[in-house]
Amino acid sequence: MPEAVLWLLLTGEYPSQKQMDSFVKELNERGKLSPRVEQYISSLPEDMHPMTQFSMGVLACQPESIFARQYRDGLHKSKYWEYVFEDCMNVIAKNKRIAGLIFHNLYRQGKINDSDPNADYGADLASMMGFKGNKDVEDLL
């Protein structure tokens, strides 16, 4: 479970099941994209390289940056890390939706599946990509 590795990297401790469930829920909540960003990513040309699309998708989230908003409001340097941390967590959480949209843009037709708030990162991305229930793809992701 990628979330457990992220928890371990952030805290230096192994999470309890309760902590893990809460963390997965929080990341899934943070992973929502605005309709404007989703529409933008979906409008990118199919012949554009996926990593270029990914970079553009991440950059399209910048107007929602907590750090940028606080910085404009005169944030003191001693508090930078708090808002940078929040933005980093948001980018990590949004990555799977961005990747799912790009995969859909390049290889699938129709509407992308909604995020499952109870699924782990790999299972949720697999579902968004159209591989819901495929244990091999879920484990790979």
Give just the sign of the alpha carbon dihedral 141, 135, 49, 55.
negative
* pTM listed for this prediction: 0.86
The three state secondary structure string of 52-81 is: HHHHHHHHHCHHHCHHHHHHHCCCCHHHHH
Q: Exposed, middle or buried by CB within 10 Å (0-12, 13-18, 19+), for 97? A: buried
Q: Residue type at 53?
A: Q
How does pLDDT run along the chain (141 residues), one tens digit per residue?
678 888 888 889 999 999 988 888 888 889 999 999 999 999 999 899 999 999 999 999 999 999 999 999 999 999 999 999 999 999 999 999 999 999 988 887 767 888 887 788 888 889 888 888 888 988 888
CB of 121 closer than 8 Å to CB of 141: yes
What is residue 117's predicted lDDT score, i.e. its pLDDT? Answer: 77
Does domain 2-140 bear CATH number 3.30.365.10?
no
Tokens 């929080």 belong to residue: 26
d(CA 94, CA 87): 10
d(CA 21, CA 3): 10
